[in-house]
């Protein structure tokens, strides 16, 4: 069968066992978001990333993704320089909804800065210009965070015209591909390559 033009090409195998990965997702369109997160995590785990080194945070909508990714990354940088002198709960707390609350060494999780962060959101076009403004701003914002922070930021933002299009990109409809899987693999590849490039 001829290779498809679409997609990242033949899968590369990278060892994610040393990586720490963040996932920041919007809660709008949750029925699409959930399978995308599942697909993303499945590929992280199958690439060797430890469950304890995957940190998942949520925000209300896609608009909030750039600031959340930025804050999550800087919190992990602070944690990496201070964790050795911190007890569990100091500075970073333990509530999973707080962007500054990252697992500490006492949980067995890595306290290194994130090797990659995956931003996941689903924008579905409505009747107004809302979609266009958010899609453009979030895309620019995520690129800005990625280049300013120097951390790979995987673009898991679906910008679709219909709910059907969203479902068929989340592997929900029969025979469709879950794009979250690609995002998980991209995070591992970029996380590993970033360490090589350092
Ligand atoms: C307001 C809004 C609308 C209309 N549509 C979406 C959407 O399709 N996907 C999404 O992730 N978020 C949506 N939002 C919420 C905004 O992203 C944002 O959370 C709010 O405007 C508050 O800042």
Give, in degrees to the nearest 5, the angle at Cα 163 between 158 and 164.
Answer: 100
- Identify whether 10 is part of a domain: no
Residue 8 domain-assigned?
Answer: no
Atom of ligand 1 nearest to the CA of 128: 4
Q: Does a structural domain hold residue 198?
A: no
Give the whole-angstrom CA distance, residue 91 versus residue 83.
9
Residue 141 has pLDDT above 50, yes or no: yes
Residue 181: inside a domain: yes
CATH number, domain at 106? 3.40.50.960
Indicate whether 12 belongs to any domain: no
For residue 55, what are the domain limits? 21-25+36-83+93-190
Instruction: Give 96 or 72, the one with higher predicted confidence.
Output: 72
128 belongs to a structural domain: yes
> Which atom in ligand 1 lies closest to the alpha carbon of residue 124?
8
- Residue 101 CA to its chain's centroid (Å): 17
Q: How far are the Cα atoms of 85, 87, 113 from residue 90, in angstroms, in the given order?
A: 9, 6, 17
Q: What pLDDT sits at residue 2?
A: 52
The catalytic site residues sit at 130
Confidence class for position 84, pLDDT limits 50, 70, 90: very low
Can you tell me the mean pLDDT for 137-148?
Answer: 98
Pocket of ligand 1 (CB under 6 A): 26, 28-29, 60-64, 121-124, 126, 130, 134
């Amino acid at each position: 069968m001829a290779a498809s033009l679409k997609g990242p090409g033949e899968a590369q195998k990278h060892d994610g066992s040393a990586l720490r990965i963040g996932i920041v997702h919007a809660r709008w369109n949750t029925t699409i978001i959930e399978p995308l997160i599942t697909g993303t995590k499945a590929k992280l785990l199958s690439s060797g990333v430890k469950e304890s080194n995957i940190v998942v945070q949520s925000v209300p909508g896609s608009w909030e993704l750039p600031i959340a990714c930025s804050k999550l990354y800087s919190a992990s940088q602070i944690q990496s320089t201070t964790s050795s002198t911190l007890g569990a709960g100091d500075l970073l707390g333990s509530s999973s909804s707080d962007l500054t609350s990252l697992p500490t060494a006492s949980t067995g999780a890595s306290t290194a800065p994130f090797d990659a962060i995956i931003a996941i959101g689903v924008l579905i076009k409505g009747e107004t210009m809302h979609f266009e403004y958010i899609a453009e701003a979030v895309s620019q914002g995520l690129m800005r965070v990625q280049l300013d922070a120097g951390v790979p930021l995987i673009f898991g933002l679906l910008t679709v015209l219909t709910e059907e299009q969203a479902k068929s990109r989340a592997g929900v409809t029969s025979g469709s591909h879950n794009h979250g899987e690609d995002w998980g693999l991209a995070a591992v590849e970029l996380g590993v390559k970033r360490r090589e490039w350092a």
